[in-house]
Amino acid sequence: MLCRFQQILAFGGKRLRRHQSLSTRCGGPLIAYERLVTDGLIQRDPVQLSVMARFERLYDELRFDDKAQEPKGEESTLASLKRFFGGTDTADTIKVPRGLYVHGSTGSGKTFCMDLFYEQVEQSKQRIHFHEFMLSIHRRLHELKNMNATENPLTAVAHQVLSQGRLLCLDEMQVTDIADALIIKNVFQALFEAGCIVVATSNRPPSELYYNGLQRQLFEPFIPLLEKYCQVVSLENEFMTDYRLVKGAGETARVYFIESCDHARDEFLDCKERLLADPELSDRLVLRTRDSGREVHVPRADLACRAGYFTFDQLCGSALGAADYLAIAQALHVVFVDGVPIMDLNDLDRARRFITLLDALYDNDCVVVIYAATEPEFLFVADKKNNTFSEKARDDKTKKARDEAFAFDRAVSRLAEMGSVEYLTHARENRPPLAIDILKAPDLDVDQLFQSLDVDNSGNLDTDELAALLADVSELRRGHRNVPDEEVQIAMTLLDTNGDGFVDLEELRHYVLNSPKGKDALFRDAIPQNHDR
């Protein structure tokens, strides 16, 4: 028998994943939207149409305003702006197009609208989740501090961001970390003055960002700055529909197990053991965050199929944050979370971490398999709609509980989407391979690669030499040499079978010729579709 959460997804219809190609470039976001309506892929929504009209205007400004064009040749973005506009690089002087800040309830279509716009834009652009963006800002500032750079670090960081794309699209802007709150105004001031055009989505209007946060008075100057450079647009209406729930995938997969359901525990453990049963492959794993190199411990992991197991307390009961969860999401493909409890007013920190964890897993196309005390919509028992439900409603702690419940709505909707067969199929087919996975390609000459990188002729590759090998393989098959430390770490763990800290040619050959059952087959076996409805 299906539990209630599985039944809520049993509606027909085809859902569009946010990373799925929404359309080919066809003359602007409004035309693209109407084409999707005509093709029967989405329903026409008057509120979304109104928002798409704002995106259409910005699209036109980016196309036809000379001040928004990309620089020619090797000239940097900032240099070209200074040359064309009298040596100043402030947005007030060069009158760059005003960005957009789109807010609305969970599932209202914020990300869908922004992604449709983003796909049509041909100018210099970048899209990133807000959590990941702020982590990159902290990392860059830290690096500049260590370099003792003479340039204003915020100006330098703004130049770095701008070089990656003048149009900056930020998904899910929310501020919960005081470290972000303290620097966000100055960071965005530098970006706006450098000519950056920001488009952001959020569950909150600007005035409600970082609501009840510590030292919020230091954050508040960011609000008028954001409203000055970004037009604020709402996707709210009285009859708001969560399209991620209504336009279900037609069937669900067994990735959310509820304690009260018959055989749920056995099914969860069976699913876990299919991926993590081999004691030779399953072991502890230590990852490192990109910002500070902090260690993140995975109590049980099988790197051959990129699966990891945690209890809820291991993930959300200690002081982990967005950087830790991002390291997990980028290293693992399947994440098991065991024992998610019902959270009340005493569990606000754990609830916040759980929400941040789901954000990281969702944005990196991870599969999350959960064993929980109840359905997602009942995991957090706080009534955000009732401002006077008890005398405690006037104290700070209860206001924070209602604030967290608002964010939890997004998590519930995401869990719904992540439980659909369409999401899981997309995750399996579109998750980019690790560089070490590419070593299994039959046309690669592993011996030649090894010999070319064994620069000291020691017969062993150390960590730096292995990183160079993986970078070569990545460039050959993925078109870039960017191999994060997590990938190198995973590769060393898989290849170094004798644990001496080096990889010899025989270890490399053994991995290539005797690699275990592929993760796709394991994925299909361990997480079957539900046909017994």
pLDDT at site 243: 58
| pTM score over 0.75 | no
Residues 419 and 445 in one domain: no
- The mean pLDDT of 31-54, rounded to a whole number, is 87
Q: In the structure, what pLDDT confidence band is assigned to residue 384 with cuts at 50, 70 and 90?
A: very low
Instruction: Count other C-beta atoms under 10 Å from residue 389's C-beta.
Output: 13
Residue range 173-193: mean pLDDT, rounded: 90
Please tell me the distance from the alpha carbon of residue 50 to that of residue 117, in angstroms, as a whole number.
13
For 36, other C-beta atoms within 10 Å of its C-beta total 18
- Tokens representing residue 25 in the block: 């470039």
Domain assignment present for residue 530? The answer is no
Task: Judge if 151 and 51 occupy the same domain.
Answer: yes
pLDDT confidence bin for 526, thresholds 50/70/90: very low
pLDDT tens, residue by residue, 406-424: 677 788 888 888 888 778 8
Report yes or no: 202 and 105 within 8 Å, Cβ to Cβ. Answer: no
Q: Any idea what the CATH number is for the domain that residue 467 is in?
A: 1.10.238.10
User: Are 327 and 265 contained in the same domain?
Assistant: yes
Tell me the pLDDT band of 250, cut-offs 50, 70 and 90.
very low
pLDDT (0 to 100) of residue 152: 85
- Does 532 fall in a domain? no
Asked if residue 533 is part of any domain, the answer here is: no
Q: What percent of the chain has pLDDT over 90?
A: 24
Residue 420 and residue 453 in one domain: no
Per-residue pLDDT of 64-116, as tens digits, reads 754 445 444 444 444 443 433 344 445 555 578 999 999 987 778 899 999 99
Q: Which residue has the higher pLDDT, 436 or 268?
A: 268
Q: Are residues 306 and 204 in the same domain?
A: no
- The full DSSP string for 41-85 is SS---HHHHHHHHHHHHHHHHHHH-GGGSPPPTT--HHHHHHHHT
Q: How far is CA 118 from CA 132, 379, 394, 526, in A?
A: 18, 35, 42, 36
Q: Which residues have a Cβ under 8 Å from the Cβ of 172 and sit 6 or more positions away?
A: 111, 129, 130, 131, 201, 202, 203, 359, 363, 410
Residue 455 has pLDDT above 60, yes or no: yes
CATH number for 111: 3.40.50.300
Per DSSP, 252 falls in state B
Asked if the model's pLDDT at residue 279 lies above 70, the reply is no
What pLDDT score was predicted for residue 115? 93
Res 353: pLDDT:
93
Q: What mean pLDDT is predicted for residues 193-208? A: 92
129 and 21 in one domain? yes
pLDDT in tens, 116-136: 999 999 889 999 999 899 999
Last residue of a domain, one of 204, 234, 264: 234
pLDDT at residue 252, as a whole number: 53
Q: Inform me whether the pLDDT recorded for 248 exceeds 70.
A: no
How many domains in the chain? 3
Instruction: State whether 487 and 396 are in the same domain.
Output: no
Packing angle of the helix pair 153-163, 77-84 (nearest 10 deg): 100
Most confident segment among 13-17, 26-30, 54-58 = 54-58
What pLDDT is stored for residue 480 in this prediction?
59
Residue 102's pLDDT is 95
Specify burial of residue 532 (Cβ count, 10 A radius: 0-12, 13-18, 19+): exposed
For residue 435, the model assigns a pLDDT of 73
pLDDT of residue 341: 94
Among 269-278, 312-321, 507-516, the range scoring the smallest mean pLDDT is 507-516
Last residue of a domain, which of 234, 264, 289? 234
Across 456-476, average pLDDT: 83
225-245: average pLDDT: 75
Report for 278-292, 350-364, 386-400: range of highest mean pLDDT: 350-364
Domain enclosing residue 45, as ranges: 13-234
Report CA torsion sign: 451, 453, 454, 455. positive
Whole-number pLDDT of residue 498: 85
Which tokens belong to 358?
């789901």
Range 295-309 average pLDDT: 83
- Rounded distance, CA 209 to CA 219, Å? 9
pLDDT of residue 127: 94
Residues 259 and 298: beta-carbon distance below 8 Å: no
Number of Cβ within a 10 Å radius of residue 252: 25
Q: How far apart are alpha carbons 365 and 334 in whole angstroms?
A: 9
In a domain, 94, yes or no: yes
Residue type, 62: L
Are 215 and 345 in a shared domain? no
Residue where a domain stops, chosen among 410, 430, 450: 430
Instruction: Provide mean pLDDT across the span 33-56.
Output: 87
Residue 160 reports pLDDT greater than 60: yes
